[in-house]
Structures are given as structure tokens and as C-alpha cells.
Amino acid sequence: MDDTFTGRTEAHAAPSRPRGSAEGRVAALASYFENLDEALTCESARSRDAPVQDALAARRLGMASSLFLALRAKHAPTAAHSLRVALACSSWANRLGLPERLRDALEIAALLHDVGKIGIPDYLLMKPGKLVGEELLAMDRHRAHGHEILSACCESEAVLEVLRYSGSWFDGTRHGFDCAGNDLPLGTRMLAIVDAYDSMTTEHVYRRAMSRERAVAELFACAGTQFDPRLVKEFAKVALSDGLGLDSAMAQRWLREIQPEHAEAMLRASGARPHATAPVPEGPVIGEDFHWRLLENMHDGVFFVSEQLRVLHWNRAAERLTGIRGSNMVDRRFVPSLIQMRRENGKPIDDDACPVAATIVTGVQMLQRVQCAGRNGRLVLVNLHLVPVLSPIGEPKGAAVILHDTSNQVTLEERVQKLHERATQDPLTKVANRAEFDRVIAEFVETHRQAGAPCSLIICDIDHFKKINDVHGHQAGDEALVHFAAALSQFASPGDLVARYGGEEFVLLCASCDNAAATERAERARRHIASTPQSVLGGRCITASFGVSEIQGGDTAETLLRRADRALLQAKETGRNRVVQLGTGLRGTLPSLERRKNWLIGWLPAGHGASAVTRDLITPVPLHVAAEKLKGFISDHHAEIIDVAENHAVIKVDGPSAPVPRRQSDRRVPFTIRLEFREARIQPGHRSGGHFLRTEMRVEITPARKRDRRHADIAQRANQLLVSLKAYFMAEELPGAVSGPSADDGASRPGADAGGPRSPV
């Protein structure tokens, strides 16, 4: 059943399809397509943007689009996930040059691969935590439900074959399937990879979103067992280069080339009405933006619930207070245990005694002091103000809930906000200047690192800015800079810092913000800037490129800045007007060295500690990917290459210094790092018959100067470099490798907390 993907041939070239009858409608939908990610991820706007999903599903499925609409009515996040997976599969298949028939089958199967969740109970789909035991078994039956539903309305054996083996493992170890390895349909193997990747890079209540690099590493870790190792390698090339962006080519295929009648040749629906053209979505109601802007900029946490206790909106302040993103709360049933709500005396509030439900039933306002879990699990004392929402005839419609933080503890955002307020402004754009940014970033990174909280850096640059000055004049260029800075500031939250780094380059420090949230914010800023006409430019729009990175193990302010700058350079090299994210982030990395020092290092006298740190590491990625990670480490640390050969490298790098050097011993110490690589081919030993690759490496870190070996903290500094190397390579120590001081006593393997790829629920 395997199909090659070495490139499209003339025999496989698809005949051109007739264009839609209304060019204006196609253009309008294509414009909405550019904002599809935001439409699918912004839960508060879901009702307004549902027509975008309808239009795409109708184009791809024809009359059978009612199945997709039923899935969205049942559980909108699952429908949004299915649409993202289908579009990503379409983009990947296009890059592989698959025949048109296989691509059509893959797109339809991907769009409907979770349709069986229509038959899953609501309490499972809405559960805020991980599924366990019988719940997992019940959820796993959705594939059988989906295959049964489609068998009644699908004439395409290719589509049914892809879905029949959905959920199977490449090595054949998952029960209930009669083939494995390359005998599995190519579409099934591709769908499994994209499905897991989207699940891992999407935010869930039970799991934070992973960065692209971390998600790809998890795919490599499961290559040969759960996934086809050859396809994982091909997918990684796309995901780590420019991603699976929903570009204009995909818009043209889905909205202009594909006709509903073509899909209806593969899908039949008995007694279905003729296909109706999906209406072009209209803009928001005038005045609505003012309400949302007010809610999103309030200091107090605010959320709305329906009469059935389903969360309708969860503002930014509620996100900051609880650490739970709004996209994970909207459409979920609110219960006190969701935010670990307790009475003022610390006694937990039972879900059956929910004060929000009591307000809806009684129609009476309530004000009480409670505790709830804040960021990092710490309990926060809040005033809970409950306001019932009634219809004109007095019937309950829901409730508005206000959470006012009354704790004396100054939050991390407020501390950083004070730095922001005292910032020295750039005279032109009125945001912080370069000097203030240089002063703040070191303290910003150190504060978050000590708190164990993520923070991210977005660096952006106006595309082709010189042309603006040359064509429209320097005054127009200055106005463009002012508008750009103002637009960027709109996407800054309290505690963030916006600064002009130099020329047309700006930076945004994002407090308590991980890779996924920062990338989403940068993407929204990019779209807003690209769609806002500039009067000084004759009504034309400007575009910008963005680089994003989150702090990770062993990072300093310098390495974070260089990595984000490297991401910006990659965005420019791959076509501009796009967002590129680099780095693994704090997820799965090691604890901070300040809190987990090796007791032996502190006990030994100065000069007696080990003069070298040697470790045997293993990373789930193959050798060529590990080589790219090493290039990133060298670039971000400004390392000097001493020697390089096929399987080993020697580099020299300045080690980390004390945060505020006061003595000669606090200054930077140069280290020599020797790395030896070996690619291991591992046979899974099952029916798949394939193999998968891992990279093993030996790392030795020694002071470059002999006199530096007398420093009391030399082992700690070397360990910090080791932590950074492990973060870049996404590596763990090989069992039994105990040479030199440990950098991760008790640390878990990368991604262990994720429990492997999991389908979204």
C-alpha cells in the first residue's frame, strides 16, 4: 500500500478545475483564510468566525459538510483541530508531490478523522484534566464510531482505508489492527504524525503547548514504534524550516480549485439537500470591540458563564491570576475544582456547592473571600464578586464573575511593570529605548529564571524599510515607525516591555509567556500590521518579520537575544512577513542551578572540585538534526570552532558569569567543549521491519586556561553550560554515565511529563 513521495510527475499532475463563479466571494474568503489560525484559536470569537470553518468544510466535503458542522456543534475545539490537521496534511502532501487521488483522500479523511467524537459523552470531551482508565477506553472508541458513520455515506475506499487504520502504531504493537509498517496506508501514517504534532503544539488545560522543536523531538522519540521513521524525518524538514503555514496556495486550492461536486463524488449522503453556498462572514458588530478591549485590559480577572455553567469568556487578567489560558477555559463547564477554589480558611469548596451556580439559581449578587490556585500552584486570596445575568422577564441567563486579587504578594507582572513604567523612552516612538532594554533584559530573565516561570522575547523588523524612505521620504518612514511601535504595543500585556532596538528593529519582552503564547501573539501582531493601511504611504500596508524564543535551561540574556535574532534572520531568509520560533523553552528542561546545587561541590574546598564535566548524552533526533542544533548553540553563544570533523567537534566558549560581577572571580571563564557523536540505528523488533535513529554523544567541558581550574565555582559554571547544551540538543544522560558533577540530579527525561503524543480530547 506504500506510495513513493519523491516528487510529482506529469502523469500525476491534476487537471485544472473550474474556478468559482464569484471571484469576489473567493477573494473575501481568501482574506479570512489569512486569519484562520486566529479564528480557530480565539475562543471568544468562535461564533463570529464559524462561517470561515463552514466555507472551508463545504468546499472540501460538499453535502457531507453537515458531518463537520455536527462535530463543531458537539465540540468546537475538536472541529478546529480537525480543520488544522486537514490543512496541514494538504500542505505536506503538496510538498511531497503526492498524486491528486491520494491527496484528496487524505484531506477528507483528516477533516473527518475525529467525527466519531459526536458519539462521546460531553463530560469526557469537557473534562479539564487528563483521562484515566475507563475514560481512555471510552474515548478510544471514537475511531470505531467515526468509521461506522463514514461507512454509511462514503464511497471512497481510499478514505475509509485511511480511517480504518487510524490509531494504529507503525510497529504493530497496538491491538486491533491486522497490518503494520509499510503495509499501513500512506495517508494513515501521515495523518498520525500531523494529528500528534497539532495536539502537542496546541494548548490544553491538562498540558501546556510544546514548542515546534520539542514536538518534533517527541515525534523522533516515537519514530519506529508509533510513527513511520522515514515520514517523521520528512515531516521534520518541513516543521523545522518554515512550518506548515496556511499559505495562499492552500487558499487557492481549497477555495478556488476544489468544487463541492468533486467531493460529493467521493462522499454520498442519502436524502441530503442540494449543497448551499456558505455565506461570506461579516465583520463584528460596531461597539463590540470596545467591550472586549475593556475586558482584556482590566486589572481584575473576569469571566462569564452561561446558565449551564459553560465558560463564555475568560479575560487576560484571569489568565494571569490562575495561569490558565482563555482558549482552554472557554466552552468548558466551570466547577470550583477547576481552579482549586477554597474557602478563606483553606477548606476546599465542593463542586456541588459551587457559588457561581448558587448565584445563577438565586439571582442574587454575592461577594465573598476565597482562595484559588494561582500560577505555579500557589494559593491566592481573592474577593469573589458574583453578578447574575437575567433576561428581561427575570429568567437566569448566566453570571459574570470578578476575581480581585487581595494578596499582599506583589506579582511578577507588577514587578516587571514598574520597570516598564520607569523605562527611558525612545524620543520618536515613545517606547523604551535600546539602553533601557539592555538594562532590563538581564534582570527580566534572571527574575523569571529564579521564579521558575517562562518568559519570551519577540524581535521584529519592518520589511524593506529602506524602500519606504527612498520612495516616500524619511518623514513618512518616521511615521511608519511610530505606527509600527503603537501597533506592537497593542499586543503587549501588563508586565511586558516594548523597546526600539535600533533603526526599524523592535523587541517585545513577554512576561510569564511561553513559546506557544508568544508565537501566537507575534502572529496576531503580524496579521494586524499587514492589514492596516498607512495614510502616509498612500493607503498601503507595511509588513514585518518576527523571531520568537523562550528562555531555556542554561540561558543568559545574551543567548536568548541571539536565538531570537537568529529566528528573525530565518524569517527574512524564508520570504519575510512571517513568524519563526526557535528553542525548546523551559518545558522538560532542568531545574535552575541555584536551587539544585550538587552538595559535593559546596562541601569541597576551592580548587579541589572536578576540573572537567564529562557526560554521555542521547537525543531522540538523528545526526543531521543534532548538527543543526550544534550550529544554533555555537551561534547563540558566540563560540569559536577549534576543530571539526565528521564525528567530533571542539569549540571554545565564554562560560556564564555571575549575574553582577563584583570580584575578579566573578568574570567570565572560557571553556573548551569537546563533543563526539555517534548515530545509533535501533531496530524496534516488531512487525514494522524498519529502524529508527538516535544520536549518542560524549560531552567534555574543561576550562580553557589552567589557572581557572582553581575557581571555587568552576564546576557550577561548567554545569550551566552542560544544561544549555542539553536544552539545545533536547538530550538526556545515558544510564550509568556518572563522570564529573551532575547537572540534573533527579531531573526527568525531556518530554516525560507529556506522556508522549496524545490525541486532543
Catalytic amino acids? Answer: 504
Q: Which residue has the cell 464569484?
A: 22
Give the alpha-carbon dihedral of 377, 378, 381, 386, to 10 degrees.
-10
CA torsion through residues 245, 248, 254, 255, sign: positive
Q: Looking at this protein, which amino acid is placed at residue 543?
A: T
Q: Looking at this protein, which amino acid is placed at residue 472?
A: H
Q: What residues form DSSP beta bridges with 402?
A: 302, 385
30 φ, ψ to 5°?
A: -65, -35
- Using an 8 Å Cβ cutoff, are 310 and 333 in contact? yes
Euclidean distance between CA atoms 273 and 654, whole angstroms: 70
Give the alpha-carbon dihedral of 334, 337, 338, 339, to 10 degrees.
110
Euclidean distance between CA atoms 538 and 528, whole angstroms: 18
Q: What residues form DSSP beta bridges with 456?
A: 510, 550
C-alpha cell at 650: 571542539
From the list 517, 494, 483, 505, the residue with the least C-alpha distance to 561 is 505
3-state secondary structure 238-306: HHCCCCCCCCHHHHHHHHHHCCHHHHHCCECCCCCCCCCCCCCCCCCCCCHHHHHHHHHCCCCEEEEEE
Give the strand order in the sheet containing 396-405. Answer: 311-314, 301-306, 396-405, 379-390, 366-373, 342-343
- Using an 8 Å Cβ cutoff, are 299 and 321 in contact? no
Q: Distance of CA 68 to CAs 73, 91, 707, 718, Å?
A: 9, 20, 69, 54
Q: Distance of CA 666 to CAs 494, 599, 656, Å?
A: 34, 21, 9
Q: What residues form DSSP beta bridges with 549?
A: 457
Q: Distance of CA 247 to CAs 42, 447, 754, Å?
A: 20, 39, 30
C-alpha cell at 275: 449543497
Euclidean distance between CA atoms 716 and 615, whole angstroms: 15
Q: Looking at this protein, which amino acid is placed at residue 507?
A: V
Which DSSP string do the residues of 700-747 spell out, in sequence order?
A: EEEESSGGGGG-TTHHHHHHHHHHHHHHHHT-EEPTT--BSS-S-TTP
Apex 270 CA angle, 265 and 274, nearest 5: 70
Q: Which residue has the cell 496556511?
A: 246
Euclidean distance between CA atoms 250 and 252, whole angstroms: 5
Q: Distance of CA 238 to CAs 96, 111, 131, 623, Å?
A: 10, 21, 31, 17
Which DSSP string do the residues of 573-622 spell out, in sequence order?
A: HTTSSSEEE-S--STT-PPPTTTS--HHHHHSPTTTS-S-EEEEEEESS-
